[in-house]
C-alpha cells in the first residue's frame, strides 16, 4: 500500500463538514418511504442516506462520512459540490431564469463556445442525459448516411455497428446499441439495425474485416453503415480499446464515409488522466459523447461534432429536447468547464491514477490468491475477489463492498462480470492523502472479510 503522504494537491480546499441538508426526516423514514413508493429495482445501492457531499466525501445526517469511490457514478470528477459550481448555480437561479427550452440564452452561448474551445470540436448538440446524447448521435449519423447515399435502394435501412460488451445507456436505442445481451432481453430486437462485433481489446488481434463479415451475414455492406460507436474502455469490464485497432477502425470509417462515434460519457473530463480518453490512443472520433463529468453535478450532456458538415443535413428541430440547455445545468457546466480549462486537474488525475494503480498492485501482491486487478486507466479501476480456483467470486466482492461501507468507503459492485467486480472511481481531484486513506480502508476491509 502506498505510504501516507499529507501533501495536499489540487482538490477542493480542505473541506470543513458542510451543514446538514434540507429536511428533518430520519434515515429510517427515508429508506422505508422509498421502499414503499418506488419499485424494488430502484434500490441496488448501499442503504446510505446521502445528506450532503463535498469534495471526495459524502455525509449522512448524523455526521458519518464516506470517502466516495463512486463519484456519484462518475459525475463528480472535480469533486462533489465545488464552490465554483454551487455559486454559479445559485447566481443563475437568483437571476430568475430557470428554463428556456431552445430559445437563445447567454449562458447557452457561452457553454457551447467553451465546449468547442476546450475540446477542439466544432459544434455541440446539448441534451440532458447520457442515453439521450447516444440517441442524438444515432440520429445525426443516420441523417448523414442517408444524405450521402441518395442512390440507396428504397427500403434499405441503415445499420449501426457497436461492440459486444458495450454499455450506452438504458433507453431503447441506447440499449439496443449496447453489447450486453442480458440487459437487452426486454427490448424488441430490431433485426439487423444494430450489428454488434467483438470489441478490439488492447493486445488482441482485430481487423475491420470482422465488421465486413458481420455485414455480409445480413446481406449488407459498408455503404449501409451509419456509424461505428464504441468506448475507449468498456465500463462493463474495463477492457481497453487496442490503439492499432482503433487506428484501423478510424481508417475504415473514413474510407466508407461512416461516422466514428466515441462514447466518452463515462471516460471524459479527466477520468483517465486525459481530458478525453481518446487522447491516449491518438484517434479522433467524428462525434464525441459527453455527459456525467460535463457539469460534475446537474443533468446535461452533449454530442460534440467534429465537422459542421455532419449536422447540416439534420432537419430543423430534429434534435430538440425540452430540457436541453437548461440555464441552471448550463451554469453548472460553465463553472465546471472553467475548472478544466488550464489542464491542472487532468494532470493531477494522471498522478493520482498512478497512485491508485500502485496501491492496488500492492494490495494484490500481498495476497494474490484471493484478489485480481481487472483493469486500471487513470482514476478508474476494477478489482475482483477470487476463490481458491482463481474464479471470480461475487459473494466475496459483495461482502468486501459492504465492509468498505461500514468502514467509511463507498464502492460500487456493478452487475457485469457476474457481479464480482468492485469498480473504483474516486473524484479525480481526490487528494494524495485521501486516496491513501481510502486504500488503507480497502485493505483493512479485505483483512476483515478474510480475503485471500
- Residues near ligand PLP (CB under 6 A): 129-131, 134, 167-169, 231, 235, 263, 265-266, 291
Of the two residues 133 and 435, which places its CB atom closer to ligand PLP in the complex?
133
User: Is 167 or 206 the residue whose CB approaches ligand PLP more closely?
Assistant: 167
Question: Which residue, 67 or 137, is less far from ligand PLP as judged by CB?
Answer: 137
Q: How far is 219 from 78, CA to CA, in rounded Å?
A: 47
By Cβ distance, which residue is nearest to ligand PLP?
130
Alpha-carbon distances of 421 from 179, 318, 401, 413, rounded to whole Å: 18, 40, 10, 6
Cβ of residue 109: shortest distance to ligand PLP, in angstroms? Answer: 24
- We find the least distance from the C-beta atom of residue 436 to ligand PLP, in angstroms, to be 28
Please state the closest distance from residue 110 (CB atom) to ligand PLP, in A. Answer: 23
Q: Tell me how far the alpha carbon of residue 347 is from its chain's centroid.
A: 19
Beta carbons within 8 Å of 227's beta carbon, 6+ residues apart: 137, 138, 141, 142, 145, 160, 161, 258, 259, 260, 261, 286, 287
Q: Are 371 and 447 in contact (CB under 8 A)?
A: no
C-alpha cell at 426: 474516486
Nearer to ligand PLP, 158 or 235 (CB): 235
Least distance (Å) between residue 126 CB and ligand PLP: 14
We find the least distance from the C-beta atom of residue 216 to ligand PLP, in angstroms, to be: 29
Nearest 5°: phi and psi at 163? -120, 145
Shortest CB 85 distance to ligand PLP, Å: 18
Q: For the chain, what percentages of helix, strand and coil (3-state, to nearest 5) are there?
A: 40, 15, 45
When the beta carbons of 301 and 311 are compared against ligand PLP, the nearer one is 301
Residue 25 · residue 449 · CB < 8 Å: no
Residue with smaller CB distance to ligand PLP, 131 or 319? 131
Give me the residues paired with residue 114 across strands.
Answer: none
DSSP of 327-344, one letter per residue?
HHHHHHHHHHHHHHTTSH
- Indicate the residue among 231 and 432 with the shorter CB distance to ligand PLP: 231
The H or E element spanning position 435 is: helix 432-448
How far apart are CB 170 and ligand PLP at their closest, in Å?
A: 6
Minimal distance, residue 130 CB to ligand PLP, in Å = 2
DSSP strands (E only) in 203-278? 225-230, 259-263
HSE (side-chain half, CA atoms, 13 Å) at 428: 32
Question: The dihedral of CA 43, 49, 52, 56: what is its sign?
Answer: negative
User: Alpha helix locations (H) across 61-105?
Assistant: 71-74, 83-95
In the complex with ligand PLP, the residue whose CB is nearer, 112 or 166, is 166
Between 162 and 431, CB nearer to ligand PLP: 162
Q: Could you tell me the smallest distance in angstroms from the CB atom of residue 75 to ligand PLP?
A: 9
Whole-Å CA distances, 296 to 214, 293, 431: 38, 4, 17
Q: Shortest distance, CB of residue 354 to ligand PLP, whole angstroms?
A: 23
Q: How far is CA 314 from the centre of its chain?
A: 27
Cβ closest to ligand PLP, residue 111 vs residue 380? 380
Beta strands in 173-278 (DSSP E): 194-197, 225-230, 259-263
Amino acid at each position: 500500500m502506498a505510504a501516507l503522504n499529507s501533501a495536499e494537491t489540487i482538490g477542493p480546499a480542505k473541506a470543513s463538514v458542510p451543514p446538514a441538508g434540507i429536511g428533518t426526516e430520519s434515515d429510517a423514514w427515508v429508506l422505508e418511504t422509498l421502499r414503499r413508493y418506488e419499485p424494488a429495482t430502484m434500490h441496488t445501492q448501499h442503504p446510505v442516506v446521502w445528506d450532503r457531499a463535498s469534495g471526495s466525501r459524502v455525509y449522512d445526517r448524523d455526521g458519518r462520512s464516506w470517502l466516495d469511490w463512486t463519484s456519484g457514478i462518475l459525475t463528480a470528477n472535480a469533486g462533489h459540490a465545488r464552490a465554483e459550481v454551487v455559486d454559479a448555480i445559485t447566481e443563475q437561479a437568483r437571476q430568475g431564469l430557470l428554463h428556456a427550452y431552445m430559445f437563445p440564452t447567454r449562458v447557452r452561448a457561452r457553454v457551447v463556445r467553451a465546449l468547442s474551445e476546450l475540446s477542439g470540436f466544432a459544434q455541440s448538440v446539448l441534451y440532458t442525459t447520457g442515453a439521450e446524447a447516444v440517441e442524438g448521435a444515432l440520429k445525426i449519423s443516420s441523417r448523414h448516411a442517408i444524405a450521402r447515399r441518395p442512390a440507396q435502394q428504397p427500403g434499405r435501412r441503415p445499420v449501426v455497428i457497436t461492440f459486444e460488451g458495450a454499455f450506452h445507456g438504458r433507453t431503447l436505442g441506447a440499449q439496443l446499441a449496447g453489447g450486453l445481451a442480458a440487459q437487452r432481453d426486454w427490448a424488441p430486437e430490431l433485426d439487423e439495425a444494430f450489428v454488434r462485433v467483438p470489441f478490439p481489446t488492447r493486445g488482441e488481434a482485430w481487423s475491420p474485416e470482422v465488421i465486413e463479415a458481420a455485414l455480409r451475414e445480413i446481406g449488407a455492406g459498408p455503404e449501409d453503415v451509419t456509424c461505428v460507436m464504441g468506448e475507449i474502455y468498456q465500463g462493463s469490464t474495463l477492457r481497453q480499446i487496442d490503439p492499432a485497432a482503433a487506428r484501423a477502425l478510424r481508417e475504415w470509417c473514413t474510407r466508407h464515409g461512416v461516422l466514428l462515434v466515441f462514447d466518452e460519457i463515462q471516460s471524459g473530463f479527466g477520468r483517465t488522466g486525459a481530458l478525453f480518453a481518446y487522447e491516449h490512443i491518438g484517434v479522433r472520433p467524428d462525434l464525441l459523447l459527453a455527459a456525467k463529468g460535463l457539469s460534475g453535478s446537474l443533468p446535461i450532456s452533449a454530442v460534440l461534432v467534429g465537422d459542421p458538415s455532419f449536422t447540416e443535413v439534420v432537419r430543423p428541430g430534429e434534435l430538440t429536447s425540452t430540457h436541453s440547455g437548461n440555464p441552471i445545468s448550463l451554469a453548472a457546466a460553465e463553472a465546471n468547464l472553467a475548472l478544466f480549462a488550464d489542464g491542472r486537474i487532468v494532470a493531477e488525475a494522471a498522478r493520482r491514477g498512478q497512485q491508485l494503480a500502485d496501491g492496488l498492485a500492492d494490495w494484490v501482491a500481498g495476497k494474490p490468491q484471493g484478489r485480481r486487478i481487472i483493469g486500471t486507466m487513470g482514476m478508474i479501476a476494477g478489482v475482483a475477489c477470487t476463490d481458491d480456483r482463481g474464479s471470480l467470486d461475487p459473494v466475496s466482492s459483495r461482502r468486501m463492498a459492504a465492509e468498505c461501507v461500514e468502514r467509511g468507503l463507498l464502492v460500487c459492485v456493478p452487475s457485469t462480470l457476474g457481479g464480482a467486480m468492485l469498480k473504483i472511481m474516486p473524484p479525480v481531484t481526490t487528494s494524495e492523502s485521501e486516496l491513501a486513506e481510502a486504500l488503507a480502508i480497502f485493505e483493512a476491509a479485505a483483512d476483515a472479510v478474510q480475503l485471500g
